[in-house]
Amino acid sequence: MRDALLLGTIAASLLLALRYPYVGVLAWAWFSIMNPHQMAYGVYGLPLNAVIAAVTITSFVINGEAMKFRGPHYDLVRPFFGVALDFAALFTRSTDFCALLQSIHQGPSICSPLRSGDN
């Protein structure tokens, strides 16, 4: 019963995603975060996440949303993401996170003084 309910929900969301691509993005986020297929025995091994992603990408192309997508706007958000990572590093106790942060941030960060004491 759970399998049928899950597959019915995914099928309905995929049909809606063909018309409205944002429904596919929402379905993919729901499926990625909650992992409902882990609770349904019959669909445990199916690559449903890849199916949702493929239908969503196809819908973006078919509906012309890919032409409306403007990529350079992420450049405006990127500095804020860097600041958020630096702020999160202030409260971490792991120096591994600081190493990861510096590899992502590619420049001086708040972790530099924290890591100078590690030898």
Domains of the chain: which residue ranges?
2-68, 72-115
Angle between helices 21-34 and 2-19 (to 10 degrees): 150
pTM for this predicted structure: 0.55
With 0-12 / 13-18 / 19 or more C-beta atoms within 10 angstroms meaning exposed / middle / buried, residue 119 is exposed
Tens of pLDDT, residues 75-93: 777 788 888 877 777 776 6
Q: Is the pLDDT of residue 12 over 60?
A: yes
Q: What is the mean pLDDT of the chain?
A: 77
- pLDDT tens profile 27-78: 999 988 887 777 777 777 788 889 999 999 999 888 877 666 666 666 777 7
